[in-house]
Amino acid sequence: MNATNFWQHKTLDEMSSAEWESLCDGCGLCCLHKFEDEETQQLEYTCVKCQYLGSDRQCQVYDERTRRVPDCLNVRDIPKAQYRWLPESCAYRRLYEGKSLPDWHPLVTGDTKAMLEGGYAVGEWAIPDQDLDVTEDFIVKIKLSPT
């Protein structure tokens, strides 16, 4: 068993804090505003990002995020059924659903180059939500990772 591939032999609940945090690929897609179709539960992403998501796709207030942004989900603390709110490419969601990490994931490739070149991350196209009324007019299609 290769200890460096901990995600292949540990459940999410068994992971250390460091392992858990390393699963995040830093794509920033979870920080985009979303709309949900109540009938189908289909999520639609917008081009509007949380005002605290920096240009490096890192939360500028990470330790205070759930206090500053009431709708921000602390992935480790929410029921796993709510992982549907995460992008289909998200490692937490994929592992919970019994899928492997995507081929471009930084834990697989060693860096973020493949993720960025593949378009699996928030880019300069996202606008901050500060002083913005987010409506369905902002809905965009995001690139999903192959299953």
d(CA 123, CA 35) in angstroms, rounded, equals: 20
Is pTM beyond 0.85 here? yes
Please list the pLDDT of the chain residue by residue as tens digits (147 residues): 455 799 999 999 999 999 999 999 999 999 999 999 889 888 999 999 999 999 999 999 999 999 999 889 889 899 998 898 899 999 999 999 999 999 999 999 999 999 999 999 999 999 999 999 999 999 998 876 665
d(CA 82, CA 140) in angstroms, rounded, equals: 22
Ordered by start, the domain boundaries in the chain are 3-140
* β-strands 32-36, 43-49 pairing: antiparallel
| Cβ–Cβ under 8 Å, residues 33 and 138 | yes
